[in-house]
């Protein structure tokens, strides 16, 4: 692909930096203006777990990891810092709590001020969620009718009720991506993506709803004219402040004034890095398959889907509405499932001896035992898994749902562990199919799935998902589409491209397509999907 003419006036070779902060690590990728990643850096970040479904992190630790990752990527690429045309950030939708001057505040009973982040997966606010949902607030129409404990207003309410001294002392409450852009530029602007998807901001009306905040017990935020959660809200890719401050530039190893884009939630950056391939965005469902999974569907008009978050205006593709589904545990559900099996220890030792992760080993063993990738589902004969270990995010919005496993015998061998692995992957695929079907019934059909995320990189996984959903599945040329999505934001802030859509079209492309199988394989998945929904229903009735 040729370098776009709009980038030529920048002078010399110019590059983009995309930064992705996931649950377990911070990563940076350095891209050229064709979308090719030249180098990357990665640093692990700490995760603290407490009783009561509490999960916390440190913004200091995360910023340090971000800076080290960016410096590593730039050094590996061997470019000069002033050749970076722009930088974009994405991150998990975690809540950062800072006191005056940006001082971290403790969000949990550890009283450690460095633990100033309530992580997205933290479910401490289930009681607050139930009370909020009972109120029937109008803004809930835009989160699928039911708010989730993974969103920020229930977490804020939990803080106010359980740690009032921290709530009162807080200077700013940030979504993590907005914290990163503030830390880079000093600009307090929030991204439409973060506050619309996780904070109940009404982007299509460009306003917060004071009645909602007063109705749920957070009226103080409305009384302050929302100064602590965002008075200026801008679209992703908007250049912030005057670019990197002197302090941030020194820490990141980049030039002062390097353009910084308003950021995004990590899954949505994966959407930006994928849905622009091969046709209009509304044809493609972005599926980010990592520790959790997210589905993102773009529509030209708002579509209300019960149990699916949104519709959110301009939260991903500017000017389009977004519906967001997903599974609270996806890759993590597979890891949890495998850990129960008697052969797990033996298999981990074998995987380690081959330099592989356990899922990759099991996938390789499954491929060895079948003639084609589509035949792998037959290995799970009699085994059925509903992998809802952390509830059902969509389409039922049921945080109390739990996993169901049927068909286990007395087997203790690795072959049986392979079968359980395949059954778990099928369960992930059937959960994805439920979301697709629910959205189509509401008026938001899609033609195909575009995959990204670390758990979705194997050919076996991709083919199983195509077969389980009955939809063609596309893999993009970019090895790291989430990082590419963040870099796309930076490309717009740095004027390498005039707008998001042109950047998406120029920087992403299809690499491979996995077609769903027909015949006996399709019939097998139809029968297994029926069993999946029956198990779901039974588990709900028992509970």
pLDDT in tens, 254-307: 999 999 999 999 989 989 998 887 778 899 999 989 888 999 999 999 999 988
What's the residue count for the chain? 543
d(CA 275, CA 344): 37
| Percent above pLDDT 90 for the chain | 88
Contact 425, 464 (CB under 8 A): yes
Q: According to CATH, what is the number of the domain 331-434+530-542?
A: 1.20.58.2240
Nearest to 116 by CA among 135, 103, 101: 103
Q: How confident is the model at residue 12 (pLDDT cuts 50, 70, 90)?
A: low
Phi, psi of 207 (to 5 degrees): -160, 155
Helices (H) and strands (E) in the chain — how many of each? 18, 21
Give the pLDDT confidence score for residue 220 in this predicted structure.
98
1-5, 166-170, 260-264: least confident range: 1-5
| Percent above pLDDT 70 for the chain | 98
Buried residues in 42-69 as b, exposed as e (16+ CB within 10 A): bbebeebeeeeebbbbbbebbbebbbbb
314-328, 428-442, 515-529: least confident range: 314-328
Q: Of residues 187 and 481, which shows the higher confidence score?
A: 187
Contact 193, 32 (CB under 8 A): no
Which contacts qualify for 100-107: CB closer than 8 Å, 24 or more apart? 100/169, 100/171, 101/171, 102/171, 102/172, 102/183, 103/171, 104/58, 104/59, 104/60, 105/166, 105/169, 105/170, 106/163, 106/166, 107/56, 107/159, 107/163, 107/166
Does pLDDT of 8 surpass 80?
no
Q: Once rounded to an integer, what is the mean pLDDT over residues 86-109?
A: 97
Give the pLDDT confidence score for residue 7 in this predicted structure.
34
Per the listing, tokens 């490309």 go with 491
Please name the fold of domain 5-264.
Answer: Nucleotidyltransferase; domain 5 (3.30.420)
Give the pLDDT confidence score for residue 216 in this predicted structure.
98
Q: What angle do CA 393, 399, 403 make, to 5 degrees?
A: 85
Contact 494, 85 (CB under 8 A): yes
Provide the token pair at 22: 């996931």
Give the pLDDT confidence score for residue 77 in this predicted structure.
96
Q: Once rounded to an integer, what is the mean pLDDT over residues 305-318?
A: 92
Q: What sign does the CA torsion over 300, 301, 302, 305 have?
A: negative
Q: Indicate the average pLDDT of the chain.
A: 94
Provide the token pair at 67: 């800076």
Domain parsing of the chain, residue ranges: 5-264, 331-434+530-542
Contact 175, 155 (CB under 8 A): no
Looking at residue 83, the DSSP 8-state letter turns out to be G
Q: What sign does the CA torsion over 143, 147, 150, 154 have?
A: positive
Phi, psi of 532 (to 5 degrees): -60, -50
Return the HEC string of 257-299: CCCEECCEEHHHHHHHCCCCCCCCHHHEEEEEECCCEEEEEEE
> Model confidence over 487-500: pLDDT tens digits?
999 999 999 999 99
d(CA 324, CA 310): 6
> Model confidence over 220-236: pLDDT tens digits?
999 999 999 999 999 99
d(CA 120, CA 198): 10
Q: Once rounded to an integer, what is the mean pLDDT over residues 168-172?
A: 98
> Model confidence over 30-49: pLDDT tens digits?
999 999 999 999 999 999 99
Q: How confident is the model at residue 206 (pLDDT cuts 50, 70, 90)?
A: very high
Phi, psi of 512 (to 5 degrees): -140, 150
């Amino acid at each position: 692909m040729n370098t776009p003419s709009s980038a030529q006036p920048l002078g010399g070779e110019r590059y983009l930096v995309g930064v992705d902060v996931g649950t377990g690590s911070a990563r940076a990728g350095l891209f050229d203006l064709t979308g090719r990643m030249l180098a990357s850096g990665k640093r692990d970040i700490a995760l603290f777990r407490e009783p009561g479904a509490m999960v916390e992190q440190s913004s200091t630790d995360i910023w340090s990891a971000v800076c080290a990752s960016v410096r590593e990527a730039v050094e590996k690429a061997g470019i000069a810092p002033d050749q970076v045309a722009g930088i974009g950030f994405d991150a998990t939708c975690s809540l950062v709590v800072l006191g005056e001057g940006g001082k971290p505040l403790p969000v949990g009973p550890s009283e450690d001020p460095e633990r100033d982040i309530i992580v997205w997966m933290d479910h401490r606010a289930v009681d607050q969620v139930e009370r909020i949902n009972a109120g029937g607030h109008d803004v809930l129409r835009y989160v699928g009718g039911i708010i989730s404990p993974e969103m920020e207003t229930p977490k804020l309410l939990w803080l106010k009720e359980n740690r009032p001294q921290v709530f009162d002392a807080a200077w700013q409450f940030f979504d993590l991506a907005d914290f990163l852009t503030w830390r880079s530029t000093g600009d307090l602007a929030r991204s439409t993506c973060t506050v619309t998807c996780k904070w109940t901001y009404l982007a299509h009306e460009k306003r917060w709803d004071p009645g909602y905040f007063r109705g749920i017990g957070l009226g103080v935020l409305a009384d302050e004219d929302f100064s602590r959660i965002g008075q200026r809200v801008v679209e992703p890719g908007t250049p912030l402040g005057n670019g990197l401050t002197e302090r941030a530039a020194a820490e990141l190893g980049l030039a002062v004034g390097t353009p910084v884009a308003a950021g995004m939630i990590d899954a949505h950056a994966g959407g930006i890095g994928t849905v622009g391939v091969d046709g209009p965005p509304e044809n493609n469902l972005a599926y980010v398959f990592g520790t959790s999974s997210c589905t993102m569907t773009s529509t030209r008009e708002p579509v209300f889907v019960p149990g699916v978050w949104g519709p959110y205006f301009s939260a991903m593709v500017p000017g389009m509405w977004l519906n967001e589904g997903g599974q609270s545990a996806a890759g993590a559900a597979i890891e949890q499932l495998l850990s129960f099996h008697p052969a797990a220890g033996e298999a981990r030792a074998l995987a380690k001896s081959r330099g592989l992760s356990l899922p990759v080993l099991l996938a390789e063993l499954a491929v060895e035992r079948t003639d084609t990738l589509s035949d792998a589902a037959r290995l799970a004969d009699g085994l059925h898994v509903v992998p809802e270990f952390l509830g059902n995010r969509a389409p039922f919005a049921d945080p109390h749902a739990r996993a169901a496993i049927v068909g286990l015998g007395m087997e203790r061998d690795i072959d049986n562990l392979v079968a359980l692995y395949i059954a778990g992957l099928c369960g992930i695929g059937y959960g994805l199919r439920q979301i697709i079907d629910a959205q189509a019934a509401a008026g938001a059909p899609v033609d195909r799935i575009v995959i990204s995320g670390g758990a979705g990189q194997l050919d076996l996984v991709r083919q199983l998902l195509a077969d389980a959903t009955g939809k063609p599945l596309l893999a993009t040329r970019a090895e790291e589409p989430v990082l590419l999505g963040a870099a796309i934001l930076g490309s717009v802030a740095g004027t390498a491209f005039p707008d998001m859509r042109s950047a998406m079209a120029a920087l992403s492309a299809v690499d491979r397509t996995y077609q769903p199988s027909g015949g006996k394989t399709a019939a097998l998945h139809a029968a297994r999907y029926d069993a999946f929904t029956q198990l779901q229903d039974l588990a709900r009735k028992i509970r």
